[in-house]
Amino acid sequence: MNILFIMYDQLRFDYLSCAGHPYLHTPNFDRVAARGVRFTNAYVQSPICGASRMSFYTGRYVSSHGAQWNGFALRVGEMTLGDHLRGLGMGCWLIGKTHMKADAEGMARLGLDPDSVIGARQAECGFDTWIRDDGLWGEGPDGFYDEKRSPYNAYLKDKGYPSQNPWADFANAGIDDAGGIASGWMLANADKPANIREEDS
């Protein structure tokens, strides 16, 4: 048996055509939903995405698991969905973002090597990782969320985007009326076309 669980980031409950949205068309997600289960009565436990994800992984309230903000460590020893499914003989892989941060102090107290299999799983919410990338590189060469270099930034640099941080200057930006970079995170720039080729987006 295989389970593919897709957790969106910042998607309203009704912003899929399979959820009844009258104008948005999401045929690929609709096909997945038609063959699976949509959690139509699920509610987030925190307005902060990382803390909410940790609640889903652990089945516990934020006040119980303690990872109260993006980048807050989930304590060593917190059992997660990955741990439980692995106990049933399933491989459990995490792809994408979580804002998870390893509990380095707890691992050090227990003598866990972060590069060991157990240490790596503790650092990644009880999952093995395929591509784990929080996808936010808004400051510095690759940003403040990801301690490792961004594979997407490396890809964009290889494609010829001339910037220290092409994620910020191209993938998440437009061009303003004066020809300057207009951050895609600002509502005032919502009408600007993307500053990146579609095939690289």
Binned at pLDDT 50, 70 and 90, residue 133 comes out as low
Q: Are 79 and 122 in contact (CB under 8 A)?
A: no
C-alpha closest to that of 99 among 63, 57, 139, 51: 51
**Of residues 65, 92, 99, 125, which has the active-site annotation?**
99
Provide mean pLDDT across the span 45-72: 91
In degrees to the nearest 10, what's the CA dihedral of 102, 151, 168, 72? -10
- For residue 138, the model assigns a pLDDT of 54
Cβ neighbors of 169 (< 8 A, separation 6 or more) are 161, 163, 181, 195
Is the pLDDT at 96 greater than 80? The verdict is no
18 is catalytic: no
Provide mean pLDDT across the span 23-51: 90
99 is catalytic: yes
**Of residues 18, 21, 25, 49, which has the active-site annotation?**
49
Q: Which amino acid is at 175?
A: I
Provide mean pLDDT across the span 97-117: 87
For the question of whether the overall pTM of this predicted structure is more than 0.85, the answer is: no
Share the mean pLDDT of the chain.
85
Cβ neighbors of 9 (< 8 A, separation 6 or more) are 49, 97
φ, ψ of residue 74 to 5 degrees: the values are -85, 125
C-alpha closest to that of 92 among 64, 60, 120, 63: 120
